[in-house]
Structure formats: C-alpha cells, structure tokens
Amino acid sequence: MSRSPCFLLLKFLVFINNFIYWLIGLGIIAVSLWLIFDEHLYKQTLESQREDYFTGTYFFLCIGAVITVIGFLGSCGAWRESAWMLGTFFAFLCVFLIAELCAVIFLYFKQEFVESIIGKSVEETVLKKYHFNASEASVHTFDKIQEELECCGAEGPRDWSQSVYNKVKEVGFMDNLYRIPRSCCRIPESKACLEATQLQKSDTPDPHILFIEGCATKMTDFVLDNSMFLVAIGIGVILLEIHGMVLSMLLCCAVRRIENMKA
C-alpha cells in the first residue's frame, strides 16, 4: 500500500529527531565510560573526592542510557512503523516532561535550597578540598572562581585560617599566621598581594588589596541573576519534547489507521 507524502514527511521528521537523540545518548555514554575507565583522570582526584566523582559519572551514564533507549524507540518505531514503539516513546517523554516540570517548580519556589547547596559546596571546597596535595584542576577551578567573581573564601578571607590549605606549615612559618591564596588579590602579581596574603589571625584583611566578599554569596547571586537563561534553556528543552511527543503521537495514530485499514 502506497504512503501519502504527508505520512512519509512525518515519518522522516520523527526518525531524524529521534536518531539525533540516540546519537546524543551514545555520546553521553561514551564520555561517561571514558571518565570511569581512564585511570589518569580519576587518579587526579583525591580519595575523599572519588565518591562524588564516580557518583556524578554514573548519574550521567544513566541519563545517557535513558536518552539512548528513548531515541532508539522513537527512531526505530518510525522506521518500522511500529505503533507500540511509538507509544512507548511517547510515554517515556511524558515521564521526562513531568519530572522536568516538577524540578523547575521545586527550584523556583525553593530558592533557599539552591542557596544552601551552593553555600555548603563552597564551604567544603575552602575548608577541606583546597590544598597543595589536591588535584591541580580543582585548585585552578576555584582560583578562577575567586578571580572572576572577585570573592575570597566561603564567607570571606578569614575562612582560610580554618582551611586544610593552612594545615601544612613551612619551616619558620609561625602558628599564629595563615595564608590566603593569591587568587583572592585584586592584583595577584603585585608585591602588596604577597604581603597581604600572609596574615595573623587577629589581622583584618585589607579590602584595597584583597576581595572581601565571600564566594558563597557571589555564586548564589550569579546563579539567581542568570536564572532567566536557565529558564530559557529549560523551556527550549520542554518545547522540543512536546514537539517530539506531538509528532510521535500523530505518526502512531497514522500507523494504527493504516493497520486498521489492512485488517
């Protein structure tokens, strides 16, 4: 039985859209497996950070697997004109859409939850993860955050006095002194920076040389100020999913109509 041009166009659109989803899912899986099995990468992290490293990697691996299955169901269902595959694809997208809407609504009305997560993450980095034996990537990343956001520590420069960054003392370095990373300086290469980053615990950090505001507040403000971009991305993803759901449902109905005509 010949197919109408509209049916063939619909079939082509559903196949192409979901084939792209399938490729994206395979890409996420490939990157996740690379992160898991490449010893050079995960050995750069500290023992205390490896649980978070693998948790995040396995999470993305699961996301990639789900996207791959959804893309396979949609593209294969369109190619084979399988109503049950297209229906299953539609159901998966419905679940994804509901989960995303719930997450967006939760984060919108629970901004204090976002602030708490950011604050705890920054505090843990300053107090426990930033030190000479840490991976170069993690130290460089937090240095970049302090420089770009013009902040220092979690709540301020004094936080560094409690950090593991100051647990290892050089010979001749007095116990009542503590260091501050040079990335806290307004001009890191200056001589004044070198002097201002070695303080006694009773000293007040110099606001003319050092950034005084904490990174927890700065990062929270940055996320909230750019929340509209995140919302725009979320809306775009939701519209794409709705578009895929509509196309798959139209194709599924057309396939069922053809099957009924054959019967």
- Report yes or no: 145 and 129 within 8 Å, Cβ to Cβ: no
CA 178 → CA 1, 26, 173, 181, 205, distances in Å? 82, 48, 9, 10, 12
Q: Indicate the range of 49-53, 64-68, 121-125 predicted with least confidence.
A: 49-53
| pLDDT score recorded for residue 172 | 47
- Report yes or no: 149 and 219 within 8 Å, Cβ to Cβ: yes
Cβ neighbors of 206 (< 8 A, separation 6 or more) are 196
| pLDDT score recorded for residue 39 | 66
| pLDDT at 5 > cutoff 60 | yes
Averaged over 122-142, what is the pLDDT? 79
pLDDT band, very low/low/confident/very high, at 109 (cuts 50, 70, 90): confident
> Any idea what DSSP says for residue 205?
P
pLDDT band, very low/low/confident/very high, at 21 (cuts 50, 70, 90): confident
| pLDDT at 210 > cutoff 90 | yes
| pLDDT at 1 > cutoff 70 | no
- Report yes or no: 145 and 219 within 8 Å, Cβ to Cβ: yes
pLDDT tens for 73-92 read 889 988 888 888 888 988 98
Taken in order 252, 257, 262, 263, is the CA torsion positive or negative?
A: positive
Percent of the chain at pLDDT above 70? 87
- Report yes or no: 74 and 21 within 8 Å, Cβ to Cβ: yes
| pLDDT score recorded for residue 171 | 45
Q: Cα 57 vs. chain centroid, distance in angstroms?
A: 11
The pTM for the full model equals 0.66
Averaged over 254-263, what is the pLDDT? 78
Cβ neighbors of 175 (< 8 A, separation 6 or more) are 169
| pLDDT at 117 > cutoff 70 | yes
| pLDDT score recorded for residue 40 | 66
